[in-house]
C-alpha cells in the first residue's frame, strides 16, 4: 500500500468492496449489514484510518465541530467555562476545538480564520482585552455562521451573549466592605474598554453613592490586572501616602499581588486593610487569610453558552432573535474582609 494517510479507498481495496460501502459503514448507515460494518471498522483500525472531517463537512454541510476561542485556557474561569460547553456538546455528539488569543488581537483574527478554514459549525468566543476592532467577528456573522459571545462581550455586534451580572457582583462586594466598616475603598480596574471592567467599576461607584461615600479618583488604580500589576498598584497607593482601609479588585490575581505587598509592609489583613477580589480562582481559598471574592458560575456559564449556541444552530442560518443571558453572581465572604473587633 502507498505511504501516507489511509483513505476509504484503501479500506475498500483491502476488503474488495466499494468506497461508498465503506463510507456508509463508517457512518453507521442502516442499509449496511452489521457484519460488513464490523469488517470495515476492524480494517480502518488496522490501517490507522483517520476520517477527513473537512471533506465530510463539505459533503454533509455539518462538521460536528465547535470552535471555542478564549483569551487563555490556563485560567480556572476559562477552563471551567470550556468544561461546561463540552458537557453539552458531548451530549449532542459534538467536539470542541479550543483556540487561545493570549489577549493579542492579531492572534484572535488568525484564530477565527483558522476555525473557519476548519469548517467548524459555529464559534463561541470571549474577546481579548486588546481587541478594539470586531470585523473578524462580523465576518463570521456575515457568513451566516452561529456566533455566541460569553463573559467578555461587545455591544458593537448584533450577537447572542452570555454574561455574569458584573455590576451586581461589584455592587454586592462594595456594599459588604462598607457594612464591615470600610470608608476608603480602593478599586483595581483595567483601562481597557472591556464590558466586565466597566460594569464592575459602575457597581463599585453606585454602592459608594448609595451609602453616601464620596467617590475619590485617587483610589482608582488601572492596570492589566495580573499578579504583578496588583503588586504595583498596591505599592502606588502606599508610596503616594493615600489613606485606604480596603481594596476591591476586579481580578483575584491583582488582589493576590496586593496581599503580598501588604504583608511585606507589615500591614495586616483584615485588621488594617480588608481585601476582596473577583473570580473565585481556586487559590483564593488557600491564602492566609482566605480572600473574599465573587464566584462567576463558570461551569453553568459554559453550559448556558452551549445551549444558546445549539439553539442558534437549529435555525440553520435563518435570522433569529439574539438573546442576552445574564447569570447571577455569588459573593463568597471569607476572612480577608472580617469585621475588626
The set of residues, in sequence order, having a beta carbon less than 8 Å from that of 225 and lying 6+ positions away, is: 188, 189, 190, 197, 249, 250, 251, 253, 254
Q: Which domain holds residue 261?
A: 166-296+331-337
- The answer to whether residues 187 and 268 belong to one domain is yes
- The answer to whether residues 154 and 183 belong to one domain is no
User: Does 283 map to a domain?
Assistant: yes
User: Does 95 map to a domain?
Assistant: yes
The number of helices, as runs of H, and strands, as runs of E, in the chain is 12, 12
* CATH number for the domain that contains residue 144: 3.40.50.2300
- The answer to whether residues 286 and 181 belong to one domain is yes
User: Does 2 map to a domain?
Assistant: no
Name the helix (H) or strand (E) containing 149. Answer: strand 147-150
The set of residues, in sequence order, having a beta carbon less than 8 Å from that of 17 and lying 6+ positions away, is: 36
Give me the torsion for CA of 22, 28, 30, 35, rounded to 10°. 60
- The answer to whether residues 284 and 216 belong to one domain is yes
User: Does 57 map to a domain?
Assistant: no
25 pLDDT band, cuts 50/70/90, is confident
> For residue 255, what is the DSSP state?
H
- The answer to whether residues 253 and 283 belong to one domain is yes
pTM of the model: 0.81
- Region 173-196: mean pLDDT is 93
Give percent of the chain with pLDDT exceeding 70: 94
- The answer to whether residues 141 and 243 belong to one domain is no
> For residue 92, what is the DSSP state?
T
- The answer to whether residues 187 and 279 belong to one domain is yes
- The answer to whether residues 189 and 279 belong to one domain is yes
* CATH number for the domain that contains residue 33: 1.10.260.40
Of 33-42, 266-275, 319-328, the poorest mean pLDDT is in: 319-328
Residue range 224-249, pLDDT digits in tens: 999 999 999 999 999 999 999 999 99
Contact between 303 and 91 under an 8 Å Cβ cutoff? The reply is no
- The answer to whether residues 256 and 305 belong to one domain is no
187 alpha carbon, distance to own chain's centre: 23
Contact between 330 and 294 under an 8 Å Cβ cutoff? The reply is yes
Of 105-119, 268-282, 313-327, the poorest mean pLDDT is in: 313-327
What pLDDT is attached to residue 2?
46
User: Does 198 map to a domain?
Assistant: yes
- Cα angle vertex 277, ends 276, 282, to 5°? 115
User: Does 178 map to a domain?
Assistant: yes
- Region 11-38: mean pLDDT is 88
- The answer to whether residues 321 and 258 belong to one domain is no
Alpha carbon of 105 to those of 32, 112, 132, 153, 193: distances in Å? 49, 11, 8, 14, 14
Mean pLDDT taken over the chain: 91
What pLDDT is attached to residue 149?
97
- Region 305-309: mean pLDDT is 95
- The answer to whether residues 216 and 239 belong to one domain is yes
- The answer to whether residues 174 and 127 belong to one domain is no
User: Does 3 map to a domain?
Assistant: no
pLDDT higher than 70, residue 8: yes
Name the helix (H) or strand (E) containing 148. Answer: strand 147-150
User: Does 56 map to a domain?
Assistant: no
Number of compact structural domains in the chain: 3
Amino acid at each position: 500500500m502507498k505511504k501516507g494517510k489511509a483513505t476509504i479507498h484503501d479500506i475498500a481495496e483491502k476488503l474488495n468492496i466499494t468506497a461508498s460501502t465503506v463510507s456508509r459503514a463508517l457512518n453507521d448507515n442502516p442499509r449496511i449489514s452489521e457484519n460488513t460494518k464490523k469488517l470495515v471498522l476492524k480494517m480502518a483500525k488496522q490501517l490507522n484510518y483517520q476520517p477527513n472531517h473537512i471533506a465530510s463537512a463539505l459533503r454533509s454541510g455539518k462538521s460536528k465541530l465547535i470552535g471555542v476561542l478564549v483569551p487563555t485556557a490556563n485560567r480556572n474561569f476559562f477552563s471551567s467555562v470550556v468544561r461546561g460547553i463540552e458537557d453539552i456538546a458531548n451530549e449532542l455528539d459534538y467536539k470542541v476545538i479550543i483556540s487561545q488569543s493570549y489577549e493579542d488581537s492579531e492572534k484572535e483574527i488568525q484564530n477565527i480564520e483558522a476555525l473557519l478554514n476548519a469548517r467548524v459549525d459555529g464559534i463561541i468566543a470571549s474577546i481579548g482585552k486588546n481587541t478594539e476592532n470586531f470585523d473578524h467577528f462580523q465576518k463570521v456573522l456575515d457568513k451566516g455562521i452561529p456566533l455566541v459571545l460569553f463573559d467578555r462581550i461587545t455591544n458593537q455586534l448584533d450577537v447572542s451573549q452570555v454574561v455574569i451580572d458584573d455590576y451586581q457582583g461589584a455592587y454586592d462586594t462594595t456594599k459588604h466592605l462598607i457594612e464591615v466598616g470600610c470608608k476608603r475603598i480602593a478599586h483595581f480596574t483595567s483601562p481597557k474598554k472591556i464590558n466586565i471592567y466597566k460594569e464592575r467599576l459602575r457597581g463599585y461607584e453606585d454602592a459608594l453613592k448609595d451609602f453616601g461615600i464620596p467617590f475619590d479618583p485617587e483610589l482608582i488604580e488601572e492596570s492589566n490586572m495580573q499578579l504583578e500589576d496588583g503588586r504595583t498598584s498596591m505599592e502606588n497607593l502606599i508610596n503616594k501616602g493615600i489613606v485606604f482601609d480596603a481594596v476591591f479588585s476586579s481580578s483575584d490575581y491583582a488582589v493576590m499581588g496586593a496581599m503580598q505587598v501588604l504583608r511585606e509592609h507589615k500591614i495586616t489583613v483584615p485588621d488594617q486593610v480588608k481585601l476582596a477580589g473577583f473570580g473565585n480562582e481556586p487559590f483564593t481559598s488557600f491564602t492566609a487569610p482566605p480572600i473574599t471574592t465573587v464566584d462567576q458560575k463558570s461551569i453553568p456559564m459554559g453550559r448556558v453558552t452551549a445551549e444558546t449556541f445549539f439553539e442558534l444552530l437549529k435555525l440553520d442560518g435563518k435570522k433569529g432573535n439574539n438573546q442576552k443571558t445574564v447569570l447571577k453572581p455569588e459573593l463568597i465572604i471569607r476572612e480577608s474582609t472580617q469585621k475588626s473587633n
